[in-house]
């Protein structure tokens, strides 16, 4: 007899491609459907409750139904959800974020991380008058032709390390888009600069995620970032950071760990307080390309739901409470998780490791942490083992991101971490015989 999830999926197949609106939540034989969430727990329509280490792909910093957000949004909702007018909430939230991050002189709100990155690349082109962008091999930057190049490259097509190929994700990607994206290896300053030098008069910006999830959730080195920054200064280009995921890792984002400031930063996920959100922020001179008071607007930009008061209210409540004390506490909890998982790996005696920083970590079924996308690449066998491990965790009350990645929320404690480690240890024992 079919359960509620199976019945829902059968209905969904008739109206949604593959029965889903986002491929990341698809599972075989069917996805599970959420009924409610509270704190760090989610209950599905079958009544099963699990600890949520996925947090909607890193977008929930305080977990589900956080009281301060529920209260603030409910009050705003009674006043209206969106207007063809600016709102005070937008101004107050912009002030909070600009006060929080030294590199933010001005900010422009949008509706998603993808949209924020897209606006950032277009702003870079508008400011520099150049067309090409450079990005790290394997790094994910959302669903935009230029931003998504090389994120699914594999050994059959990624080319030489000294000159990585620009590989499309989607069929039908315009060849011109591929030509306008220069791919550089991660954390390899010498190789990266040699590649950039071949396009020195054409590059509008270098796009970098400081803790790229798809590359392996390993931090960018200071040497790498400093070399890229200096190259952009020497060649009238911009250095731009994608902090859509990483903004949660420190009070001022992941960029707080580095010696230099980016020209622009794209954000999303946690800044929405659980609602769709994105933002582009940076220095005055570059952000001026968006300014409608200028004699000539170099990048005309708008969006029907940009800076809507529901998202602004939720985001403001979320980030107010994600203060320095909360950041420090959550990061210490993640450090505890990485250490205890590593201990479990040693005790079971399998080839696995943990990477990450801030409030995020990723488990690799590799003996050593990868140094770049090519070392972090997951082949078919490893993918099958990760799926088996994730299924084991799911059956034992734990939700993870499908790369075996976790993003913590302030609703969590050592109790939830200990439950995860216990389930992981059993999972490692389960897959150990197949790893030989």
What domains appear along the chain, each with residue ranges and CATH number?
32-61+323-435 (3.90.1150.10), 67-321 (3.40.640.10)
Q: Please tell me the predicted confidence (pLDDT) of residue 388.
A: 97
Instruction: Give me the mean pLDDT over the 354-380 stretch.
Output: 97
Residue 188 has pLDDT above 90, yes or no: yes
Q: Quote the distance between the C-alpha of residue 156 and its chain's center.
A: 26
**Cβ atoms of 279 and 107 closer than 8 Å:** yes
Residue 424 has pLDDT above 70, yes or no: yes
User: What is the C-alpha R_g of the chain?
Assistant: 22
Q: Is the pTM of this model over 0.85?
A: yes
- The residues near 308 (Cβ < 8 Å, ≥ 6 apart) are 81, 82
Instruction: Give me the mean pLDDT over the 314-343 stretch.
Output: 98
**Cβ atoms of 228 and 239 closer than 8 Å:** yes
pLDDT digits (tens, 9 = 90+) for 90-133: 999 999 999 999 999 999 999 999 999 999 999 999 999 999 99
| Gap between the Cα atoms of 157 and 208, Å rounded | 22
**Cβ atoms of 62 and 321 closer than 8 Å:** yes
- Other CB atoms within a 10 A radius of the CB of residue 278 amount to 28
34-38, strands of its sheet edge to edge: 34-38, 41-44, 49-52, 398-399
Q: Please tell me the predicted confidence (pLDDT) of residue 1.
A: 66
Spell out the alpha helix ranges (H) of 288-431: 309-321, 324-348, 373-376, 380-395, 414-431
303 pLDDT tier (thresholds 50, 70, 90): very high
Q: What whole-number percentage of the chain has pLDDT above 70?
A: 99
């Amino acid at each position: 007899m079919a359960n509620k999830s199976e019945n829902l999926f059968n209905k969904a197949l008739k109206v949604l491609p593959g029965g889903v609106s986002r491929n990341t939540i698809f599972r075989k034989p069917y996805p599970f459907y959420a009924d409610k969430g509270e704190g760090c727990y989610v209950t599905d329509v079958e009544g099963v409750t699990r600890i949520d280490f996925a947090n909607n792909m890193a977008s929930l910093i305080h977990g589900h139904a956080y009281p301060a957000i529920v209260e603030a949004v409910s009050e705003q909702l009674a006043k209206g959800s969106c207007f063809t007018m600016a709102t005070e909430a937008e101004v107050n939230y912009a002030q909070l974020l600009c006060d929080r991050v030294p590199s933010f002189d001005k900010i422009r709100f949008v509706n998603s991380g993808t949209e924020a990155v897209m606006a950032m690349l277009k702003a870079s082109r508008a400011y520099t008058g150049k067309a090409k962008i450079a990005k790290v091999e394997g790094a994910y930057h959302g669903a935009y032709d230029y931003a998504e190049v090389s994120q699914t490259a594999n050994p059959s097509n990624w080319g030489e390390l000294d000159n990585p190929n620009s590989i499309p994700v989607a069929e039908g990607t315009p060849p011109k888009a591929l030509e306008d994206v220069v791919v550089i290896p991660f954390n390899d300053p010498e190789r990266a600069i040699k590649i950039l030098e071949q396009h020195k008069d054409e590059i509008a910006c270098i796009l970098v995620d400081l803790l790229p999830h798809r590359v392996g959730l390993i931090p960018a080195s200071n040497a790498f970032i400093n070399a890229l920054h200096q190259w952009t200064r020497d060649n009238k280009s911009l250095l731009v950071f994608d902090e859509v995921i990483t903004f949660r890792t420190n009070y001022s984002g992941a960029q707080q760990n580095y010696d230099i400031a980016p020209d622009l930063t794209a954000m999303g996920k946690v800044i929405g307080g659980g609602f769709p959100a994105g933002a582009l922020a940076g220095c005055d001179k570059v952000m001026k390309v968006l300014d409608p008071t200028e004699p000539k607007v170099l990048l005309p930009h708008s969006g029907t739901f940009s800076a809507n008061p529901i998202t602004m209210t939720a985001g403001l409540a979320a980030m107010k409470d994600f203060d320095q004390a909360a950041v420090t506490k959550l990061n210490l909890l993640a450090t505890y998780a990485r250490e205890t998982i590593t201990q479990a790996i040693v005790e079971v005696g399998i080839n696995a490791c943990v990477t990450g920083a801030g409030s995020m970590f990723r488990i690799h079924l590799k003996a050593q942490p990868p140094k770049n996308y090519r070392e972090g690449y997951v082949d078919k066998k490893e993918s099958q083992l990760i799926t088996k491990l994730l299924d084991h965790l799911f059956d034992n009350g734990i939700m993870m991101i499908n790369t075996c990645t976790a993003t913590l929320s302030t609703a969590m404690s050592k109790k939830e971490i200990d439950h995860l480690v216990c389930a992981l240890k059993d999972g490692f024992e389960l897959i150990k015989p197949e790893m030989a």
